[in-house]
Each structure stands twice: as C-alpha cells, then as structure tokens.
Amino acid sequence: MVDREGRRLVFVKTIAKSARSEVLEVERDGERLALKVLFAADEPEIGAAFEREVAALADARHPNIVRVLDCGRARGGLAWILMPLYEGVTLRARLRGNRTLSPRRACRLFRDYLDGLEALHRAGVVHRDLSPKNLFIGRDIAVGRTAHGLILDLGRAHLASRDDLVTGDQIVGTLGYLAPEQILGGAIDERTDVFALGLCLFEALAGVPAFEGESAGELLHSGVPHLAEARSGGVFDILGSVVARATKIGPGERFASAAEFREALVQAWAFAREEAA
C-alpha cells in the first residue's frame, strides 16, 4: 500500500481489529506509524463515518486529540487514515481487573482529555462516544513525549455549528456511557460529552463502572452513584462533587462546557491537596 504521495507503507503488525475496521502498525521511510483501515467504506454508513472522522480530526487539531497525517480511499471499498504511532494503553486496558488511577494521575489525565474535548467542541464537533476504550494513555514515539491523555476514534462524531443540536431515533454511543438524552433521542450537544467523560472519571477513580445494566432502560432509571459510595476518604468526597455535577441527569444542571468541567476539576484537586497537607 502507498500513501497519497506514493510512499510505501510497509506492514509491521496488527494492533487492533473490529468488525468494521483495523489498526495496523506500518513503516514509512523508516518511521513507525499507525494505519487505520475501514472496511466496506463504499457503503453509505461506513463511508459517512470515515468522512466524519477525517473532517473532525482536521478541524480540531490539538495535542490531546490523535492527529491525521494522511488519508484516502483504496480499491475494494477500503478507506484509510494514517496517524502517528502512540505507545501506551487505552484507559479501558489500564482499568481492567477493577484497577484504579490515583487521584493525582486521574486529575492530570482528565485535564488532558478535557483540553482535547474543548478543542473538539470549539471546532463544532460532538464526539458522542466517549468511553474508556476511546481514551488513551500514552506518548508519541516520534517526539518522545511523556505520558499524556489522548482522545481517539471520532468515527461517530457529529459535525455541526456550535449552536446546532442533534436529534434522532438511533442511539449512537457505547452502552454504559450514554447520556439520558442519547437514550431518549433528545438534543445532543457538548454537555452530552461532559456526561460521558464524567462517567469515565468515576470509573477511573472507583475501579468499577458507574452503570452496569444490560439495557438502555436500566441505565436510564438506575441513576449515577456518588463516588464517595465506592471510595472512602476526603479526596473522593471532593472529587465526587465534580463527578456528580458532570453526570447530572438534566443537561442544564451539568457543567456547560469542557472548559468549565476542567476548571472545576483543577480547583477540586488543589483543594483536596490543601486539605491533606
């Protein structure tokens, strides 16, 4: 396979594979890169996901969002996106086995995720599918950057003007991280992503998902537990108040933006450190 400039992309190994795509490690001119290949991109739904992801990544360039180096279409209904190769793990892999992040590390990583999310929203993009599998902890091999948080996989993102709202009957997202408005087919905006990231923060600190129901209806009626119910200690009471605000059932009760969420998290962590001193 070659890129759009005709440079060869040499297969090294498969990193991940799903029903509709795979991520490969490739080498181009001696540089290790990641190649995301989408199958059946000539089908309307898959092709639309490809166009969304490319457009979203192009519009929201930021150190905490995976970036596009090149993209294109190939024979056989394939589409591809060439990206830097990041060394690390997803948040899902890091939390496997009910493991947790320390409050300090969680606050640092989620500040990164919120920085990236703010950039997405500023570009008029709602992710719609934030979950631990789409949050990465790693470093860019090419520049040797230390561990930081990255937002991955914008294939389900919605591109719109900042004041646009998305509605529809089809539920888009990962069960267990859906906001109530997604389940009910209501208006989708930045606060939908705030809710999902709040659930991810809960899981990172508590070691268990906030929701473990098997249907959207169960999730809708179970409510979000307070972090202090899962972890005891003053720091969890303080950070739990931030999680609780992010995951309010009504969008109007949540943080209005990723920036507001980040500022509250930074302030809560600073206060928790002072209390512990």
Q: How many CA atoms lie within 13 A of 11 on its CB side?
A: 9
- b/e 236-274 (16+ beta carbons within 10 angstroms → b): bbbbbebbbbbbbeebeebbebbbbbbebbbebbeebee
Q: Which of 3, 112, 129, 153 is catalytic?
A: 129
The answer to whether 217 and 176 have CB atoms below 8 angstroms apart is no
Counting other chains too, the contacts that 1-4 makes at CB distance below 8 Å and 24 or more residues apart are 1/26, 1/35, 1/74, 1/80, 3/28, 3/70, 3/72, 3/82, 4/70, 4/72
Distance, CA of 78 to CA of 68 (rounded, Å)? 17
Query: Is 129 part of the annotated catalytic residue set?
Result: yes
Strand 78-84 relative to strand 125-126: parallel, antiparallel, unpaired? unpaired
> What residues are labeled active site?
129
